[in-house]
Amino acid sequence: MSGSKPDILWSPHHPNRYVICDSELGLYSIGPVGSTETKPGTLSLSEETAATLLAINSDTPYMKCVAWYPKHEPECLLAVGQANGRVVLTSLGQNHNSTCKELVGKEFVPKHARQCNTLAWNPVDSNLLAAGLDKHRADFSVLIWDISSKFAPETSVAAEKIRLSSVDLDSSTVVTKPLYELGQNDACLSLCWLLRDTKLLLAGMHRNLAIFDLRNTSQKTFVNTKAIQGVTVDPHFPDRVASFFEGQVAIWDLRKFEKPVLTLTEQPKPLTKVAWCPTRTGLLATLTRDSNIIRLYDMQHTPTPIGDETEPTIIERSVQPCDSQIGSFAWHPSSQNRMVVVSAANRVMTDFTVFERISLAWSSTASLMWACGRHLYSCVEDEAEGTDGAAEKDIATKMRERAQSRYGHDTVQVWRNHLLAGGISHMKQCSEDAELKLQGNKQFAVYSGIKNIVKTSSGTTESRRCWSGSDRQTDVTRFQSDERCLALRLCGWISRGPDIDVETFLRSLEQEREWERAAAIALFNLDIRRAIQILSKGAVTEKGDLNLNVVAMALSGYTDEKSSLWREMCSSLRLQLKNPYLCVMFAFLTSEPGAYDGVLYESKVAVRDRVAFACMFLSDAQLPRYIDKLTAEMKEAGNLEGILLTGLTKDGVDLMESYVDRTGDVQTASFCMLKGSPGDVLKDPRVQCWIENYRNLLDAWRFWHKRAEFDILRGKLDPSSKPLAQVFVSCNFCGKSISYSCSAMPHQGRGFSQYGVSGSPTKSKVTSCPGCRKPLPRCALCLMNMGTPVSSCSGTGKSDEKMDLTRENKLAQFNNWFTWCHNCRHGGHAGHMLSWFRDHTECPVSACACKCMQLDTTGNLVPADSS
């Protein structure tokens, strides 16, 4: 302390009192801001708390260290160690306490004066006060005083010699004979009583840490080390002790005292204080000189499955309770992770709570859970009301729902239906894309995307067509080639076959009441009359927009004269149209030939419509440039519509990657990539990663059947992913595989199905090995040889099984299979085993004590998707 460096001590029993000591002692009371606001002299410690100065004691000059009496009564009794080695008992604001009076003012004086470095009050035997002093050539440095002792009779003798002493000693309050004297010829820098035995005192001596046992003072345990300052016992682990030296903290285990179990990373400046958090296990706070940061070390022993002793995980953190340099800090004795910090300079205090680290875990469903301190929070997605208006659901919920509704399996029709019902626009795009891919199944070019298709385009013909229904020549050039035609088909504008008419497509759009889109497409096909007709049809239908009539009217006024009022007005007013299709219609009509940026870069218009438009009206030079640009844009945005352009190529994987990065939707990614799947795309590690993650996700949801279905689908589409057979059944006697021996002997006319594996009940069963004719093992329950069919009602007589006949049939096939415990090797018919382990955990074989069921970690789980 020595005047400049303050220290802070919490009252051991009053959770709202603490003492600051620098040149004097100040007792403070801490409380919420509101309650102490009215009193003068209140110091704000934080937003919520404030401190009030209760008492000041400046009776003890040359303070070096302070210790607070550990028992309830008398409260506020402090021991002060002084620069000349005297220990004085004093108190704060306790004038009328009689028990205290006797003790206050008592002095404990060492034989030879030198600095008192540290004080430690025995927490149990609270009469014992240990003082650690500097070295003297002929004296001890650890003195244990009995505060209740009356002055020793020798004091009178000693008093005779007092001549040079400037302090007048009142012999009635001076004790000069310590109860114990320990640590000869060595300085003591820090002390603490050990919690595991109150007779043990740990002392940081000059070059070693020593444990003194008061029951036998001639013995001590010691270890040579430099880390001897600030010894302190972890209140949660009585065997764990921290000490420090300069910038390094050493953690000791008293059971293995030879060397530190841990040394923490060295800090550039010397440490001044190290303290274990009393309210949280394994949390150590350290403070270095001239710093405004408190560094925390969170030491947690994590159990390892092997049971080997491992180093604890240490998480290092820094906290900055205030801006000024910290003089000292003290943990609150009971309030969790709370401390009061006092600044080095002018006693500015801060009440501070160390925020606990948050550990967070996502569940495989959409809920989220996190722990902070002693609290556990969980966040569950609102069970959405099912309306489309509600906020978009979490992707995990969506994927789960989709998985349940057989998303991605079977035919495109299933996909479409589902997706239309789901109403998710980009997914619809994707599905339609997939549909087209199926249509173009014979032409592999389709998979490579429009981007690659138009690149190979050749033999483009230019034509200028008339507006249909009019003989007026347009100045619009239209380009045509086989590739462009294919692209148009992929965009859905024209259907298969030689027919390049869009009429069918327009009809279908009319049916879906997409009037604006239909009109725009009609217009792009230079059929202005049809466009007007569509719009007016849209206006008259139920719930139609009457404004469409106005648009139709405006459209009918079209003139190709460059400087007409119509043109001028349309090109400026079109921007106010809300519907993007109406907007691009006027953009098309008012733009110069070959410069259709108003259409091409209208991002609200569906990509396939823009691409189709580009295929019709952009030249061979312009088209690839536009497509490239659009592709890059789509990739950047992770927009699935872009799949149309990229196809299922590397580019497509890039796009999908961007999409997955944004949404986490590995489900869509997996299915898309599986569907198209030229081999090298499927081998892309990203694709494999999505597929594996999707499978893991299904497993985590316990959608095992869905996962199996997915694997089957995957095996169909990507034969290389089929796993090899992993289990073979071989005969105990001849060692030959039973299934192989069957297939190897076709002349015997027995297929594998005959051994009960396929479970066809009509076929005769074989109960012996086809190789050596020895019997197959018996089922542990029915004692029949394997291969014998299982009667469906054996073992269990449960009525509910009969109710679900289809399920019963499926299970009946499985009931005949072999199954056995991997540990004890006992087993039998799968059906029997299932019913046995429904009620038992141990092996059905009477002499076997194997707890088969407990070894099976997933055996008790029920699939979540069983239907």
Partner 1 sequence: MELHILEHSLKVASIEKEGIEICTHGLIKLAFLASKTRCKFFSLTETPEDYTIIVDEEGFKELPQSNLISVADSTWLALNVVSGGGNASSSQPIGVTKIAKSVIAPLADHNISVFMLSTYQTDFILVRERDLPMVMHTLSSEFTLFRVVNGETVAAHNLGISNGFVKPKLGMPRPIIHPLSSPSNMFCVTSLDPDTLPSVATLLMDVMFYSVGFPNNVLFTSASGELWKMVRIGGQPLGFDECGIVAQISEPLATADIPAYYISTFKFDHALVPEENIQSVIRALRTESTAQ
Question: How is residue 102 written in tokens?
Answer: 């006797």
Give the residue, chosen from 38, 218, 413, 799, that forms a contact with partner 1 under the rule CB under 8 A: 218
* Intra-chain end-to-end CA distance of the chain, in Å: 75
- Asked if 152 is part of the footprint of partner 1 (rule: CB under 8 A), the reply reads no
Residue type, 274: V
Select from 182-190, 337-345, 656-664, 851-859 the region that touches partner 1 (CB under 8 A). 182-190
Cα separation, 316 vs 265, in Å, equals 9
- Asked if 500 is part of the footprint of partner 1 (rule: CB under 8 A), the reply reads no
Query: Strands 180-184 and 200-205, how do they pair?
Result: unpaired
Nearer CB in complex with partner 1: 138/849:
138
Question: How is residue 143 written in tokens?
Answer: 């003195």
- Taking residues 795 to 824 in sequence order and writing x for each that binds partner 1 by CB under 8 A, - otherwise, the string is ------------------------------
Cα separation, 505 vs 612, in Å, equals 13
Residues 36-95 that bind partner 1 (CB under 8 A): 83-85
Q: To which residue do tokens 């998710």 refer?
A: 424
Q: To which residue do tokens 């690149």 refer?
A: 455
**Nearest Cα to Cα of residue 250 among 238, 235, 265, 236:** 265
Select from 9-17, 213-221, 727-735, 747-755 the region that touches partner 1 (CB under 8 A). 213-221
Cβ-defined contacts of 252-260 (< 8 Å, 24+): 252/209, 254/194, 254/196, 254/211, 257/209, 257/211, 257/221, 257/223, 258/223, 259/223, 259/225, 260/225, 260/227
Give the residue, chosen from 14, 111, 393, 478, that forms a contact with partner 1 under the rule CB under 8 A: 111
- Asked if 328 is part of the footprint of partner 1 (rule: CB under 8 A), the reply reads no
- Taking residues 226 to 255 in sequence order and writing x for each that binds partner 1 by CB under 8 A, - otherwise, the string is x-----------------------------
Give the residue, chosen from 7, 22, 75, 134, that forms a contact with partner 1 under the rule CB under 8 A: 134
Q: Please report how close the Cβ of residue 366 comes to partner 1 at its closest, in angstroms.
A: 59
Nearer CB in complex with partner 1: 259/840:
259
Q: Please report how close the Cβ of residue 2 comes to partner 1 at its closest, in angstroms.
A: 5
Is 863 within 8 Å of 703 (Cβ atoms)?
yes
Where on the phi/psi map is residue 406: left (φ > 0), alpha (ψ -120 to 50), or beta? Answer: left
Give the residue, chosen from 34, 96, 137, 442, that forms a contact with partner 1 under the rule CB under 8 A: 137
Is 400 within 8 Å of 701 (Cβ atoms)?
yes
- Asked if 280 is part of the footprint of partner 1 (rule: CB under 8 A), the reply reads no
Nearer CB in complex with partner 1: 2/441:
2
Give the residue, chosen from 156, 224, 470, 473, that forms a contact with partner 1 under the rule CB under 8 A: 224
Nearer CB in complex with partner 1: 208/841:
208
Is 502 within 8 Å of 616 (Cβ atoms)?
no
Q: How many CB atoms sit inside 10 A of residue 120's CB?
A: 25
Q: How many CB atoms sit inside 10 A of residue 192's CB?
A: 22
Query: Strands 473-480 and 180-184, how do they pair?
Result: unpaired
Residue 20: which H helix or E strand, with range?
A: strand 17-21
Among positive and negative, which fits the CA dihedral 221, 224, 228, 234? negative
- Asked if 153 is part of the footprint of partner 1 (rule: CB under 8 A), the reply reads no
Is 333 within 8 Å of 68 (Cβ atoms)?
no
Give the residue, chosen from 6, 183, 789, 827, that forms a contact with partner 1 under the rule CB under 8 A: 183
Q: Please report how close the Cβ of residue 50 comes to partner 1 at its closest, in angstroms.
A: 34
- Asked if 136 is part of the footprint of partner 1 (rule: CB under 8 A), the reply reads yes
Select from 31-39, 128-136, 576-584, 711-719 the region that touches partner 1 (CB under 8 A). 128-136
Alpha carbon distances (Å) from 544 to 388, 513, 539: 22, 9, 5
**Nearest Cα to Cα of residue 456 among 479, 484, 480, 498:** 484
- Asked if 7 is part of the footprint of partner 1 (rule: CB under 8 A), the reply reads no
Is 20 within 8 Å of 347 (Cβ atoms)?
yes
Q: Is 178 helix (H, G, I), strand (E, B) or coil?
A: coil
- Asked if 2 is part of the footprint of partner 1 (rule: CB under 8 A), the reply reads yes
Give the residue, chosen from 43, 54, 55, 113, that forms a contact with partner 1 under the rule CB under 8 A: 113
Alpha carbon distances (Å) from 144 to 9, 86, 228: 21, 12, 19
Give the residue, chosen from 90, 176, 525, 639, that forms a contact with partner 1 under the rule CB under 8 A: 176
- Asked if 289 is part of the footprint of partner 1 (rule: CB under 8 A), the reply reads no
Is 701 within 8 Å of 860 (Cβ atoms)?
no
Give the residue, chosen from 162, 358, 550, 700, that forms a contact with partner 1 under the rule CB under 8 A: 162
- Taking residues 190 to 209 in sequence order and writing x for each that binds partner 1 by CB under 8 A, - otherwise, the string is -----------------x--
Is 510 within 8 Å of 537 (Cβ atoms)?
yes
- Asked if 186 is part of the footprint of partner 1 (rule: CB under 8 A), the reply reads yes
Q: Please report how close the Cβ of residue 157 comes to partner 1 at its closest, in angstroms.
A: 9
Nearer CB in complex with partner 1: 132/408:
132
- Asked if 138 is part of the footprint of partner 1 (rule: CB under 8 A), the reply reads yes
Select from 160-168, 337-345, 703-711, 720-728 the region that touches partner 1 (CB under 8 A). 160-168
Give the residue, chosen from 57, 106, 119, 135, that forms a contact with partner 1 under the rule CB under 8 A: 135
Q: Please report how close the Cβ of residue 123 comes to partner 1 at its closest, in angstroms.
A: 24
Nearer CB in complex with partner 1: 145/415:
145
CA 70 to chain centre: 43
N residues, the chain: 867
- Asked if 217 is part of the footprint of partner 1 (rule: CB under 8 A), the reply reads yes
- Taking residues 658 to 677 in sequence order and writing x for each that binds partner 1 by CB under 8 A, - otherwise, the string is --------------------
**Nearest Cα to Cα of residue 535 among 550, 515, 521, 553:** 515
Nearer CB in complex with partner 1: 63/251:
63
- Which residues lie near partner 1 (CB under 8 A)? 2, 83-85, 109-115, 134-138, 140, 158, 161-166, 176, 181-187, 207, 210, 212, 217-220, 222, 224, 226
